Amino acid sequence: MQRRNLLTLLGAAMLCGGGLPARASSGGEYERVVALTFDDGPDPVLTPWLLDFLQYEQVPATFYVIGSSAYRHPDIVRRAYDFGHEIGNHSWSHPFLTRISLARAADEITRTDEFLRRIIGAVPNTVRPPYGAMDRRVEDLANPRPMILWDVDTYDWRTRHTPAVERAAVRSNGGIVLMHDIHPTTIGAVPTVIRSFKERGYRFATVSSYLTGYYRQLPRTIDPAWAMVRG
Which residues are the active-site residues?
A: 39, 180
| CB contact at 8 A, 174 and 205 | no
User: Regarding beta strands 29-39 and 23-26, do their DSSP bridges make them parallel or antiparallel, or are they unpaired?
Assistant: antiparallel
Amino acid residing at 97: L
Q: Where are the beta strands (DSSP E) in 154-218?
A: 175-180, 203-204
DSSP type of residue 127:
B
Q: Which residues pair with 23 in a beta bridge?
A: 32
- Give the relative orientation of helices 184-199 and 162-170 as an angle to the nearest 10 degrees: 30
Cα(171)–Cα(155) distance, integer angstroms: 13
Under DSSP, is residue 102 helix (H, G, I), strand (E, B) or coil?
helix
